[in-house]
Structure 1
Amino acid sequence: MSFEHETLVWFSKSYGLFYLLGLSAIVLIYTYWPTNKKRFDEAAGSIFYDEDKPCR
């Protein structure tokens, strides 16, 4: 069973395209899932919780 270079390139480009589209869809669904809002809001505001002051 021999594959030509062009056949392998076509397969890898097609597989890569569908892989990236699927991965993007999964990331978007995870990001906008309603139960994750609290976690993301806490992470966004966590930098402001510590009151660091300059050393004297």
Structure 2
Amino acid sequence: MPLEIRELVIKASINDGGQGQNTNQSQAANNTENQNHADIIAACVEQVLAILKEQSER
């Protein structure tokens, strides 16, 4: 005998980082990762500006 489901309600709660991961180690890792991202972006900006300067001098 088949069963018919007329309504299905699914609720979910998602936390970024999960529970119990707000330790000093995870915060330090996040800070290090953010600093690495900032360093990469700064290096890219410097290279782009150097390329634009070379092109404008031609």
Please identify which structure carries the higher helix content. Answer: 1
Is 1:15–2:34 an aligned residue pair? Answer: yes
Query: Please, what TM-score do these two structures have when normalized by structure 1?
Result: 0.55
Q: Runs (4+) of structure 1 moved beyond 6 Å?
A: none
TM-score, with normalisation over the residues of structure 2? 0.54
5+ unaligned residues in a row in structure 2: which ranges?
Answer: 1-19
Aligned residue pairs, count: 37
SS at match of 1:10: helix
Consecutive unaligned residues in structure 1, runs of 5 or more? 39-56
Cα RMSD over matched residues?
1.9
| % identical aligned pairs | 0
Larger radius of gyration between Structure 1 and Structure 2: 2
Which structure ranks higher in relative contact order (CA pairs < 8 Å, sequence separation ≥ 6)? 1
